[in-house]
Amino acid sequence: MKKGVMVTLGLLLLLLQYSLWGGEGSLLDVLRLSKAIVQEREGIAKLSQRNQTLDNEVQALKLHPEALEERARSELGMIKQGETFFIVVEPAR
């Protein structure tokens, strides 16, 4: 009888240890999720900074029409009416 109780308690202890270390909601699972949360927060911080930069650019374009013109010229290659556009091509080496 005593031996059966000890075996049962031993099995129960092993089952509880498995739940603590390896099952769902275990310490390892919590550690993994904590690392994932840190990574996600870092990603959110980077995206927030990028959003702020884009918001600043939008505000600059709204407030300063010359900034819009400069951007159209540099990124889209647009020219004003009456201007002549020249492309200087470097010879292939």
Q: Report the distance separating Cα 40 and Cα 50, nearest Å.
A: 15
Q: Is the pLDDT of residue 22 over 80?
A: no
Q: Over range 52-77, report the average pLDDT.
A: 87
Q: How sure is the predictor about 6, in pLDDT bands with cuts at 50, 70 and 90?
A: confident
Rounded CA separation 69/72 (Å) = 5
**Of all residues in the chain, what percent carry a pLDDT higher than 90?**
27
CB 61 within 8 A of CB 55: no
Q: Is the pTM of this model over 0.85?
A: no
Give the C-alpha separation, 15 to 12, whole Å: 5
What percent of the chain has pLDDT above 70?
A: 97
**In whole angstroms, what is the distance from residue 10 CA to residue 19 CA?**
14
